[in-house]
Structure 1
Amino acid sequence: MKNMIRKFFKIKERDTTLKTEINAGITTFLTMCYIIFVQPAVLSSCGMDFGAVMAATCIASAVTTILMGILANYPVACAPAMGHNFFFVYTVCLAMNIPWQTALGATAVSGSIFIIICLMNVRHHLMKAVPETLQKGTAVGIGLLIAMIGFQWSGIVVDTPGTLVGLGDLSSKPVIISLIGMFSIGSLLIMRVKAAFLISIIISTIIAMAWGLAEFSGIIAGPPSMKPTFLKLNIPGAFDLGLINIIFVFFFLDFFDTIGTLIGIGHQGGFIKNGRFPGMNRALLADSIGTVTGACLGTSTVTSYIESSAGVSQGGKTGFASIITGLLFLSGLFFYPLIKMIGGGIARDEVSTLYPITAPVLIYIGCFMLPLIRQIPWDDLTESIPGYLTLIIMPLTFSITEGFSFGFISYVLLKVIAGKYRDIPVLTYIFAGLFIIRYFI
C-alpha cells in the first residue's frame, strides 16, 4: 500500500517522505479549519440552515481538496472562499433580495463556465481582459469589506444615525471577547504559530462559556442533515437577465483567486519551472469542479486556499498532503455541537446578532489582503484611479459588484481620454459596456 502511494504521488521524485506530507497536510488544515466555524455563521445570515451549511462546507472542502491531490498532485487545499461568501450573502441575497437558492444556482453556473474554460484552455485570454490594477484593487477591496464586517460582528463598530458608523461599547462582554481574540491572534502570529486562528477561537470560546455567553451542549455528535440545502439550487432562476453580472462576478472572483493562489504556492514550493506550472490546468479543473459540487451541496464558491502555503513551508510537495487535509475536513462533520456553539453568535438585541468568537478572524483576514495595494501602479493615474475606485467602493457600498463596476468603467474611460485606447483588450471594452448597461436595465 505504501509503495502504491509513493508511486502515485511521486514521493521519491519530489524528494519528500510520507511523514513529511502527513505533517504538511495537518498543518494546512490547522491554518484553515476556521472556515468550518465561519462559513455557517456567514451563510445562515441569509436564511440558510446552519447545520446543513456546516456539513456542506466540510464535504465540499474534503471532496475538492482530495480531488486536487489526485488530479493535480499538488499540496493545495480548497474550501469555501472568504470574500465570495460575503458577496453571496450581503450583495446578492440581502442587498439584491435574491433567494439563496437562486444565488446557489448562479454559483453553479459560474463554476460550470470555469470548467468549460479549463477544458477549452482559453484562460490566458480572460486573464488579459481584466487589468492587473483591477485584480489587485478587487483583492484589497474585498479585504476591507471583510474587515468591516468583522468589526461589526465584534460589536466594536456599530450603526449610528449621524455618521453611519461609530465606536461600540468597549465595556460590553462580547466586545471584550473580540478584543481578546484580536490580541490573541496578533500575538500568536508574531510568534509564528501556525494554528493562530484556531487557538484564538478556542480561547475566546472558553471565555464566552465562563461568562455565560456560550452554552456548552457537547463536542461530538452525528453529522447534521444537509436536506435543507442539498440540491436546492435554482439554476433556471440564475439565468434571469439581472443575474448575468452576478454570475460574471462569481466567475471572476473564483478564476483569479485560484490562479493567484496557485501561482503564489507554485513559486513558494518550486513547482514553477522556467515560467511554466506543470499541471496547472488540472488544478484549475479540480477547483472549478469543487465550486459546482459545493453549490449542489449548499455552500458558496469553493476555491484554492493560500493557507496551503503553511503546509508547503513544512515540506509538503505532493497531493498526498491534500488527501490528509481533505480527510481532516471530513472529520469536522462529527463536531457539530461544538461548531454551533462557536459560530452560532450571541444576540445583541431582537434584530441583530454578534459573533465575537469568529469576528477577529475576519478582521485579520482583511489585514492579510491589504499588502496587494502596493502593487497598484500609483504613478500612473489611468491605472491607480480605477484601482482606487475598485477597492474603496466595495466596503463603502457593501458590494463587490459595484466596486468591480466602477473599476471597469473608469479604467476604459480614463484610458480612452489619455489616448491609450489601443492598450485596452476588446474583452475589457465589452465588460465595461455590460457594467454600464446594468445601470439602465
Structure 2
Amino acid sequence: FMTMAYIVFVNPAVLAQAGMDFGAVMTATCLAAGIATWAMGIAANYPIALAPAMGQNVFFLTVVAGMGVRWETALAAVFLSGAAFFLLTLCRIRGWLLDAVPEGLKHAIAVGIGLFIAFLGLAGAGIVEKAEGSGLLRLGDLSRAPTRVALAGLLVAAALLARGIRSGVLAGILASAGLAWALGLVEWQGVVAAPPSLAPTFLRLDLRGVLDPALLPIVLLFLFMAMFDAIGTLIGVGEQGGFLRDGRLPRATPALLADSSGTVVGSLLGTSTVTAYVESATGVQAGARTGLANLVTGTLFFLALLFSPVVRMIGGGVAVAGGGVLQPVTAPALVVVGCLMAGNVRRIDWSDFTEGFPAFLVLAGIPFTGSIADGIAFGFIGHPALKALSGRAREIHPLAYALGAVFLLRYVLL
C-alpha cells in the first residue's frame, strides 16, 4: 500500500485538469482500488493490488483536453474498454489480440507515455515552461518557491528509490507537502473528515456520445493499454513470486476478470482505467503469497477515504503570478514514475529498423504531439506499412493491418 498510495494524491490532481471534481475522483479512486484489490485477492488468491493506472489517467486527460471530448464521454470509453476486456477474457481470445501488437510497440507505448508523464511533472513543477512567441519550451524560473519545493521532493524520491526504498515516491510527495506547508504555500485543512461526495462523477457516463465512430480508436487504445498493463504486470509479479508454472500463470482467467471488472466499476464510480500495479512486487518481496495481502491493502485504500483534507492539501495545487497553477507536491511523483516507465526502452529491438523506427515514432510522437492517441497511431500505421514496403509483409499479424487501417481512416476522415 505504501508503494502505490501516491495514486490517491496524484489521480485526482490529474483528472481534475480534465474538468472532473477533485473530491469525487479521490473517493472514486479509493473505492475502485479497494474493490478491485479485494476482487483480485478473493477471486484469484494473488497478492497483486490494483488501482487507477498512471499513464492511462494521463491518456484520459489528453483525450479530454487535447481532442475536445467531454469527460463523461471519455468515462464511457473507459467503461466500454473494460467491458470488452472482460468479455475477451471470458471468450479466451485476448491472446489473439495481444499477438497482433508487436512487442516493440508495446514497450514503445510505455516509454512514450513515461516521457509524457515526466514532461507533465516538469511543467507542473515549473521546471520547464512554454517560451513566449514560439512553440518551444524553456527553463522555468527556478527561483520560485513552488519550483524549489518540487525539486526538493524530487531529490528525496530519487534518493530513496536509488537506495532501494520502494515507497520513495510517496515519501517524495510527503516531503514536498511538508516543505510547502512550512513555507505557507498550502493551507493545513485537517487530517480526518467525511469522504467527499461521489455524486459529481457517479454514473455520469455518456454512453450515447461514445458511440460516435470517430471515437472507436480511442476505445481500442484504452482496451489495448489495459490488456498490456494487466498481463505484463501479472506475469512480471508472478515470476518474482514463483507463481508461474511452465511460464504460464495459473488462475490467469479469474485474475484478468478481476482486473477488467475493476475498470468497469471504476468508470461507473468516476475514474480512469484500473489495473494491476507492478508495485505489488514489494509485497511479494516481503513474503506475500496469497490474496490475504490484498484484503489488507484494499482495506487501507478504503480507510484512505477518511483523509480527504490531506489529499486535497497535497493535490490542490499552488497559484502563482500570472494566473497559473503549479503542482509542486505531486509533480515529483510524475517525473519519477515517468522515468521508471521509460526504462522499457532497452527492450526494443533497435538492431532491426523495421522494429526500431515504428517504436521511435511512438515514443517520440507521444510527447512531441502532446497526444498519446496520435503517438500510438503513428506506430500502428507505420509498423505494418514499413514491414510491407521492406518485403516482410508476412511477418505481420493480419489483425495488425486491420488496426493500422482503422487508425489511418481516423486521419483520412478528419
TM-score normalised per structure 2 = 0.98
Which residue is equivalent to 1:277?
Answer: 249
- Deviation, 1:349, is 4.2
- Deviation, 1:352, is 2.5
Which residue is equivalent to 2:363?
Answer: 391
TM-score normalised per structure 1 = 0.92
1:149 to 88, 110, 120: 120
Matches within 5 A, 1:53-72: 53-72=25-44
1:404 to 376, 380, 387: 376
- Deviation, 1:210, is 1.2
- Deviation, 1:198, is 1.8
Q: 1:350, 1:330 → 2: CA distance?
A: 38
Q: 1:60 to 1:434 in 2, by over 3 A?
A: same
Q: 1:172 to 1:351 in 2, by over 3 A?
A: closer
User: Between the two proteins, what is the percent identity of the paired residues?
Assistant: 48
CA deviation digits over 1:59-116, x for unaligned, max 9? 00000000000011100000000010011012x1011111101110110001000010
Task: Give secondary structure in 1 for the equivalent of 2:2.
Answer: helix
Which residue is equivalent to 2:61?
Answer: 89
Which residue is equivalent to 2:259?
Answer: 287
Task: Give secondary structure in 1 for the equivalent of 2:141.
Answer: coil
Task: Give secondary structure in 2 for the equivalent of 1:438.
Answer: helix
1:182 to 140, 144, 154: 154
1:126 aligns with 2:105: no
2:385 to 395, 400, 413: 413
CA contact (8 A) 2:377 2:407 kept: yes
Amino acid at match of 1:275: G
Amino acid at match of 2:263: T
Task: Give secondary structure in 1 for the equivalent of 2:138.
Answer: strand
Q: 1:281, 1:101 → 2: CA distance?
A: 30
Which residue is equivalent to 1:230?
Answer: 202
CA deviation digits over 1:164-198, x for unaligned, max 9? 21101111101100110111011111222232122
Task: Give secondary structure in 2 for the equivalent of 1:226.
Answer: coil
Task: Give secondary structure in 2 for the equivalent of 1:228.
Answer: coil
1:160 to 101, 120, 131: 131
1:113 aligns with 2:84: yes
CA deviation digits over 1:136-163, x for unaligned, max 9? 1101000000000000000001110335
CA deviation digits over 1:303-348, x for unaligned, max 9? 0000101111101111110111000000010001111000000012
CA contact (8 A) 2:177 2:314 kept: yes
Q: 2:343, 2:193 → 1: CA distance?
A: 41
- Deviation, 1:42, is 0.5
Q: 2:117, 2:358 → 1: CA distance?
A: 21
Task: Give secondary structure in 2 for the equivalent of 1:58.
Answer: helix
Which residue is equivalent to 1:306?
Answer: 278
CA deviation digits over 1:268-327, x for unaligned, max 9? 001011112101111111000000100000000000000101111101111110111000
Number of aligned residues: 412
Which residue is equivalent to 2:110?
Answer: 139
1:438 aligns with 2:410: yes
Gaps of 5+ in 2: none
Q: 1:163, 1:413 → 2: CA distance?
A: 30
Q: 2:411, 2:245 → 1: CA distance?
A: 45
